[in-house]
A and B are shown apart, each in its own frame.
Chain A
Amino acid sequence: MVLLSILSIPFIAAIILLFVKHNEKANYIAIASTGITLALALNIAFNGAANFDASWISSINARFVLTADGLAKILLLLTGISFPAIFIATSKNEIKNRAQFLSLMLFTQTGLLGVFLAGDALLFYFFWELALIPVYFLCSIWGGEKRIAVTFKFFIYTFLGSLFMLIGIILVYTHTADQSFAIQSFKEASLSGGQQLTAFALFFTAFAIKMPIFPLHTWQPDAYEQSPTAVTMVLSAVMVKMGLYGVMRWLMPLFPDAFAAHSNFVVILSVIGILYASFIAIRQDDMKRLIAYSSIAHIGLMSAALFANNEIGAQGVLIQLFSHGVNVLGLWIIADIIEQQTGTRSLKEMGGLAKQNPTLAILLVGFAFANIALPLTNAFIGEFLMFNSLFQFKPWIAAAAGVSVVLAAIYTLNMVQKCAYGELSEKMSKMQAPNMPAQFVLIVLLIVVIISGVYPAPLFDLTADTLQQLFIK
Chain B
Amino acid sequence: MNAIIASALLGVLMMFASWIFDNEKTHTRIALVGLLALIVANVLQLNGIYTIPVDYKGLLAFTQFGLYVNTILFILTFLYVWLNGDEIAKIGNHAADFYALFFFILCGASILTSFNNLLMLFIGVEILSIPLYILTGADKKNLNSNEAALKYFLMGAFSTGIFLLGITFIYGATGTFQLIAPTVNPANGMVREQLMQSAGLILIFVSFNFKVSAAPFHFWTPDVYDGAPTVFTSFMATIVKATAIIAFVVLFHSQYKALGYAWELLLTFVLISTLFVGNITAVFQRSVKRMLAYSSIAQVGFMLFALYGPTNFANEGILLYIMAYSVASIGLFGVLIKMKDYSFEAFNGLAKKEPLIAAMTTIFLLSLAGIPLTGGFFAKYYMLNAAVQSGIGLWLVALAILFAAVSIYYYFKLIQAMYFVEGAPAMHEVEQGYKYKLLVFAILILALGILPNVFLSYLYF
Q: Please state if A59 and B408 are interface contacts (CB–CB under 8 Å).
A: no
Residues of B within 8 A of A433 (CB): none
Residues of B within 8 A of A148 (CB): 416, 420
Q: Please state if A133 and B371 are interface contacts (CB–CB under 8 Å).
A: yes
Q: Please state if B384 and A166 are interface contacts (CB–CB under 8 Å).
A: yes
B432 at the interface (CB under 8 A from A): no
Q: Please state if A59 and B453 are interface contacts (CB–CB under 8 Å).
A: yes
Q: Please state if B373 and A126 are interface contacts (CB–CB under 8 Å).
A: yes
A167 at the interface (CB under 8 A from B): yes
A286 at the interface (CB under 8 A from B): no
**Cβ contact of A156, chosen from B384, B405, B419, B457, cutoff 8 A:** B405
**Cβ contact of B312, chosen from A59, A133, A171, cutoff 8 A:** A59
A164 at the interface (CB under 8 A from B): yes
Residues of A within 8 A of B89 (CB): none
A181, chain B: closest CB distance, angstroms: 11
Residues of B within 8 A of A469 (CB): none
Q: Please state if B409 and A170 are interface contacts (CB–CB under 8 Å).
A: no
Q: Please state if B412 and A59 are interface contacts (CB–CB under 8 Å).
A: no
Residues of B within 8 A of A129 (CB): 371-373, 377
Contacts A170-B397, A174-B385 given; does A163 touch B405 at CB 8 Å: yes
Residues of B within 8 A of A198 (CB): 394
Number of residues from A at the complex interface, CB < 8 A: 30
A166 to B370, CA, bound (A): 12
B423 at the interface (CB under 8 A from A): no
Contacts A59-B316, A129-B371 given; does A159 touch B408 at CB 8 Å: yes
Q: Please state if A130 and B408 are interface contacts (CB–CB under 8 Å).
A: no
A203 at the interface (CB under 8 A from B): no
Scan B375-386; emit 1 where CB is below 8 A from any A CB, else 0: 001100110110
Residues of B within 8 A of A137 (CB): 419
A141 at the interface (CB under 8 A from B): yes
Smallest CB-CB separation from A149: which chain B residue?
Answer: B416
* A-B CB contacts (within 8 Å), total count: 78
Contacts A59-B457, A170-B384, A170-B388 given; does A141 touch B401 at CB 8 Å: no
Residues of A within 8 A of B377 (CB): 126, 129
A159 to B409, CA, bound (A): 11
Scan B407-428; emit 1 where CB is below 8 A from any A CB, else 0: 0110010001001100000000
A455 at the interface (CB under 8 A from B): no
A390 to B389, CA, bound (A): 41
Residues of B within 8 A of A159 (CB): 405, 408
A173 to B397, CA, bound (A): 15
Q: Please state if A174 and B420 are interface contacts (CB–CB under 8 Å).
A: no
Q: Please state if A141 and B420 are interface contacts (CB–CB under 8 Å).
A: yes
Contacts A133-B366, A173-B385 given; does A164 touch B398 at CB 8 Å: yes
Interface positions of B from 413 to 461, Cβ below 8 Å from A: 416, 419-420, 451-453, 456-457, 460
Q: Please state if B453 and A167 are interface contacts (CB–CB under 8 Å).
A: no
**Cβ contact of A163, chosen from B313, B385, B401, cutoff 8 A:** B401
Contacts A59-B316, A159-B408 given; does A140 touch B420 at CB 8 Å: yes
B271 at the interface (CB under 8 A from A): no
Which of A58, A163, A173 is most buried by chain B, counting CB atoms within 10 A of its CB? Answer: A163
B381, chain A: closest CB distance, angstroms: 7
A137 to B312, CA, bound (A): 37
Smallest CB-CB separation from A160: which chain B residue?
Answer: B405
Smallest CB-CB separation from B404: which chain A residue?
Answer: A163
Q: Please state if A126 and B453 are interface contacts (CB–CB under 8 Å).
A: no
Interface positions of A from 179 to 205, Cβ below 8 Å from B: 198
Q: Please state if B420 and A166 are interface contacts (CB–CB under 8 Å).
A: no
A291, chain B: closest CB distance, angstroms: 26
B269, chain A: closest CB distance, angstroms: 21
Q: Please state if A167 and B394 are interface contacts (CB–CB under 8 Å).
A: yes
Interface magnitude class on chain B: 20 to 34
A126 to B457, CA, bound (A): 21
A153 to B312, CA, bound (A): 37
A170 to B460, CA, bound (A): 24
Q: Please state if A166 and B401 are interface contacts (CB–CB under 8 Å).
A: yes
Smallest CB-CB separation from B313: which chain A residue?
Answer: A60
A433 to B384, CA, bound (A): 58
Residues of A within 8 A of B457 (CB): 58-59
A52 at the interface (CB under 8 A from B): no
Residues of A within 8 A of B408 (CB): 155-156, 159
Scan A17-61; emit 1 where CB is below 8 A from any B CB, else 0: 000000000000000000000000000000000000000111110
Smallest CB-CB separation from A133: which chain B residue?
Answer: B371
**Cβ contact of A170, chosen from B371, B378, B385, cutoff 8 A:** B385
Contacts A59-B312, A152-B412, A155-B408 given; does A167 touch B371 at CB 8 Å: no
Residues of A within 8 A of B381 (CB): 122, 166, 170
A421 at the interface (CB under 8 A from B): no
Residues of A within 8 A of B456 (CB): 59
B30, chain A: closest CB distance, angstroms: 38
A279 at the interface (CB under 8 A from B): no
Residues of B within 8 A of A125 (CB): 372
A137 to B419, CA, bound (A): 9
Residues of A within 8 A of B373 (CB): 126, 129-130, 133
B291, chain A: closest CB distance, angstroms: 17
Smallest CB-CB separation from A129: which chain B residue?
Answer: B372
Q: Please state if B385 and A57 are interface contacts (CB–CB under 8 Å).
A: no
Residues of A within 8 A of B372 (CB): 125-126, 129-130
A173 to B384, CA, bound (A): 12
Q: Please state if B453 and A164 are interface contacts (CB–CB under 8 Å).
A: no
Interface positions of B from 284 to 320, Cβ below 8 Å from A: 312-313, 316
Residues of A within 8 A of B371 (CB): 129, 133
Interface positions of B from 74 to 125, Cβ below 8 Å from A: none
Residues of B within 8 A of A160 (CB): 401-402, 405
Residues of A within 8 A of B405 (CB): 156, 159-160, 163
Scan A289-322; emit 1 where CB is below 8 A from any B CB, else 0: 0000000000000000000000000000000000
Smallest CB-CB separation from A167: which chain B residue?
Answer: B397
Q: Please state if A58 and B453 are interface contacts (CB–CB under 8 Å).
A: yes
A155 to B405, CA, bound (A): 10
A152 to B385, CA, bound (A): 28
A129 to B372, CA, bound (A): 6
Residues of A within 8 A of B384 (CB): 166-167, 170
Smallest CB-CB separation from A173: which chain B residue?
Answer: B385
**Cβ contact of A141, chosen from B313, B366, B389, B419, cutoff 8 A:** B419
Which of A159, A170, A174 is most buried by chain B, counting CB atoms within 10 A of its CB? Answer: A170
Smallest CB-CB separation from A198: which chain B residue?
Answer: B394
Residues of B within 8 A of A147 (CB): 420
Residues of A within 8 A of B366 (CB): 133
Q: Please state if B452 and A57 are interface contacts (CB–CB under 8 Å).
A: yes
Smallest CB-CB separation from A127: which chain B residue?
Answer: B372
Scan A133-158; emit 1 where CB is below 8 A from any B CB, else 0: 10001001100000110001001100
Smallest CB-CB separation from B412: which chain A residue?
Answer: A152
Smallest CB-CB separation from A56: which chain B residue?
Answer: B453
A56 to B409, CA, bound (A): 31
A60 to B451, CA, bound (A): 12
A152 to B402, CA, bound (A): 16
Residues of B within 8 A of A140 (CB): 416, 419-420
A130 to B371, CA, bound (A): 8
Smallest CB-CB separation from A62: which chain B residue?
Answer: B453
A174, chain B: closest CB distance, angstroms: 5
A198 to B389, CA, bound (A): 16
CB within 8 Å of B: which residues of A?
Answer: 56-60, 122, 125-126, 129-130, 133, 137, 140-141, 147-148, 152, 155-156, 159-160, 163-164, 166-167, 170-171, 173-174, 198
Q: List 16 A-B contacts (CB under 8 A).
A: A56-B451, A57-B453, A58-B457, A59-B312, A59-B453, A126-B372, A126-B373, A129-B373, A130-B373, A148-B420, A155-B412, A163-B405, A166-B384, A170-B381, A170-B388, A173-B385
10 other A-B residue contacts (CB within 8 Å) besides A56-B453, A126-B373, A170-B384: A57-B378, A58-B453, A60-B385, A126-B372, A133-B373, A141-B420, A159-B408, A160-B402, A163-B404, A198-B394
For the complex of A and B, the 6 pairs showing the least CB-CB separation, nearest first, are A129-B372, A163-B401, A160-B405, A126-B372, A57-B453, A170-B388
